[in-house]
Amino acid sequence: MEWQFSLFEPIQSKGLQYSDSDIDVGFQIEKTHIGFYLQNNTDSGIKINWDDISFVSSSGKATRVIHSGIKLFDRDRPQAPTTIPPMVRIEDLFIPSENIKYVESNWSEESLFPGEYAVYNGLEFSLYFPMEIKGAKKDYFFKFKINEIVH
């Protein structure tokens, strides 16, 4: 099964990429998480406060996320911020914390889109991704659409 996504805000992009004078970012949407790269295009550090980032479901519900390096059982604990040095690229991922479950003595990640896949065709979801750039908070709100699910 293949899912096809597009980014439609802040710009339309089938490649799930966005660029401005401060950042280049690209996303890879997987079954249980959203992978991304973030390139700092500035001459100063960019600070990511992971606890400020939210995954917003198609129903409009905002959920806290964790990123790689955080143990699943620590999903509700504060996360240390990351500073990206000037002109440096990082790669990481987002997992909605509500999708992390403890079942039968094991921690696991549920699908971003559980249940009957056909109902998701055409649905939209978002990632609220604020950053501190050059000492000021800058809000990014990336909106995605599920274009097609091919069986």
Residue 83: give its domain's CATH number: 2.60.40
Is 0.75 topped by the overall pTM? Answer: yes
- Domain ranges, residue 133: 2-150
> Tokens for 106?
């094991």
CA distances from 69 to 15, 65, 91, 99 (A): 26, 12, 12, 17
Cβ neighbours for 71, distance < 8 A, ≥ 6 positions apart: none
pLDDT in tens, 15-54: 899 999 999 999 999 989 999 999 999 999 999 999 999 9
Alpha carbons 91 and 5: distance in angstroms, whole number: 20
Number of domains in the chain: 1
pLDDT in tens, 75-125: 899 999 999 999 999 999 999 999 999 888 889 888 888 766 667 778 899
CB of 34 closer than 8 Å to CB of 80: no
